[in-house]
Amino acid sequence: MQDTPNTPTHNPIEERDYRAGYKRIMWYAEQARRHGWHMSDRQLVHEITQRERAASIREKSTLPIVGTEVRSAAWNRGQADALRTILRGQRESSGKGQ
């Protein structure tokens, strides 16, 4: 597993959410690797887009966060960055990153 990259924020709550989102995706990726599973580049790009869209919606929303599964924009951005890390790793290992 990798360490989380430097977070772009100085807000401790956002930083915590970002790191939690990042670590969650990396944990799932590790579990998938152990079982021999992987996502295609296209699937990863789709998931990155969805996480970025969720973060954007959350940032623009004036409604309060309600519910247990609603996450902050920082959490979604952390997940998107983790997915980018996985995509980059897959592309480098397959020789497509050139």
Amino acid residing at 18: Y
DSSP string, the chain: -PPPPPPS---HHHHHHHHHHHHHHHHHHHHHHHTT----HHHHHHHHHHHHHHHHHHHH--SPP-SSS---HHHHHHHHHHHHHHHHHHHHHHTTT-
> How many other C-beta atoms can be found within 10 angstroms of the C-beta atom of residue 50?
14
What integer is the mean pLDDT of 13-28?
96
pLDDT digits (tens, 9 = 90+) for 77-90: 999 999 999 999 99
Average pLDDT of every residue of the chain:
87
pLDDT digits (tens, 9 = 90+) for 54-84: 999 988 987 776 777 778 899 999 999 999 9
Among 2, 9, 1, CA closest to 75: 9
